[in-house]
Structure 1
Amino acid sequence: MIRISILNLFFFIVMLVINYYQRSSVGYIANEQIPLIQPANYAFSIWLLIYFLLFIWIVKGFFVRGKKGSVYRENQLLIPINFILNGAWILAFAQQRILMSTIIIFLLLISLIRIYNKIKRNANKALFDLIPFSIYLGWVSIASIVNVFTFFVRNNVITFLGIDELGWTVVMLLFASLLTVVFILINRDILYPTVIIWSYIAIYINNQEVAINKIIMSNIILISIFVLFISISKVKAEN
């Protein structure tokens, strides 16, 4: 376990260093040509929470023993790969290689889905083990969609399959909301949808399109209802 935790910590630090030195470039590029679906700048502060929770999870690994360590052993390759992909995405985006960054962020998303599922199925997981990855997965789910739109906007693609940016924004918001509801029902996870709501509120604040904002508000209400439903059912189950 010590060896696994040291490797996790090493790649985590590498990722943080890359993020620290490239943060201004990423922010500048992200705000240069803004797609309709991009959240307001404050929403990106969620990375601080994600990194803080990941750090706690990594440090926790130094102290777990026996069966509890199976969560770390099962993900001993995926965690470093995830951190490498995170850093690679930052570098690609900072160098304005948006297509490459889009490919990388979807690989990052796939790695997170695998990590989440492995931890979710692990009978020996602690209550905290899933929390960092629920929030991380929720944010990267939205960031992946934003990255695609950023690619199209920066390449001046006005329409795709006969649908303009406004139309695709509405479609993707509805699609993301549908996936979120399915995710809630399957995993009974309230943190993932909470991050989606956080993102939607930031998109709403950053947007002037009436149609998009109406869709966002409707989706926030829908997702909130399911979050409330799952929360109540969990409380009843515990009692």
Structure 2
Amino acid sequence: MNSKVLRFANVAAIISTIIVNALANILPFNGLDTGSISDGFPVRFVPAGYVFSIWGLIYLGLSAFAIYQALPKQANNPAVAKIGWWFVASCAFNCSWLFAWHYLQFPLTIVLIVGLLVSLITIYRRLSSLRANASNADRWLIHTPFSIYLGWATVATIANATIALYDAGWRGGPLSDSVWTVILLVIGVCLAAFITLRQRDVAYDAVLLWAFIGIAVKQAAFPVVMGAAIVAAVAIAVLIVLAVIRKLPTQGRKALA
């Protein structure tokens, strides 16, 4: 693998992704805004509109990664080599998803967002062996951006699935929308707990906390969903505290005791 080609491809991939995302809402594709499409479905696992501002943070982090990995000093960075072409693949899935979403091809959106999720999981797992001994620069410019992106992709995949199922005519069977949303929130907390136990990843947990608070705000008219989202957010906050404590040196933990 030519590292120069890969590093150039990473830069081109994030630039292309940002441009496509901007055009999707400026034009917009198919005359529809990205957010207005999800608002058209009465599903409960959808956060308030302000929550989607996290895309700005995601693209800022990914742009920082692209610039950082392109620097001559990073030519032999093992973290960049571990990521390989999976970042380029994730950008391709991201852009393709936008076209499928705006043209209301919901079954296809599931395939594409799962592709995005798998790409990010692969990157995350490949980086996991380097996480403990990462330099501060690698931690903030490689590991953290992908933790945030994976956290949001987790939430987005669940939300996308609920919309695709609703569009296909499924209404939850014997369970109500609210009950299914509670189940999905529990799954989200379980995923966060798994990540916390394995990686102590505060950034990943923080994204879920942000999303669950947004769900509580958006679904305030549905007490069961709002209450479950608040409980889930509190559970995530506890996991974040535990992750922070576990990251502290032994002396720091004793001081807190």
Structure possessing the higher relative contact order (Cα contacts under 8 Å, 6 or more residues apart): 1
Partner Cα distance (2:6, 2:100) in 1: 28
Residue 238 (structure 1) shift: 7.7
Instruction: Name which of 140, 150, 154 aligns with 2:153.
Output: 140
Partner Cα distance (2:230, 2:24) in 1: 34
Counterpart of 1:138, as a letter, is G
Which residue of 2 is the match for residue 13 of structure 1? 15
The answer to whether the Cα contact below 8 Å between 1:204 and 1:213 also exists between their aligned partners in 2 is: yes
Instruction: Name which of 176, 193, 211 aligns with 1:199.
Output: 211
Which residue of 2 is the match for residue 86 of structure 1? 94
Which residue of 2 is the match for residue 235 of structure 1? 248
The answer to whether the Cα contact below 8 Å between 1:18 and 1:91 also exists between their aligned partners in 2 is: no
Q: Give SS of 1:122's match.
A: helix
Alignment of 1:120-131 (within 5 A): 120-122=128-130, 125=134, 126-128=138-140, 129-131=142-144
Which residue of 2 is the match for residue 219 of structure 1? 232
State the superposition RMSD in angstroms: 1.8
Deviations 1:192-232 (A, max 9, x none): 01100000010000002111112111111122112112212
Deviations 1:167-200 (A, max 9, x none): 2111111111111111111111111011000000
Partner Cα distance (1:54, 1:2) in 2: 18
Instruction: Name which of 142, 155, 176 aligns with 2:168.
Output: 155
Residue 95 (structure 1) shift: 0.7
Counterpart of 1:105, as a letter, is I
The answer to whether the Cα contact below 8 Å between 1:35 and 1:149 also exists between their aligned partners in 2 is: yes
Which residue of 2 is the match for residue 190 of structure 1? 202
Which residue of 2 is the match for residue 106 of structure 1? 114
Which blocks of at least 5 consecutive residues in structure 2 are unaligned? 253-257
Q: Give SS of 1:14's match.
A: helix
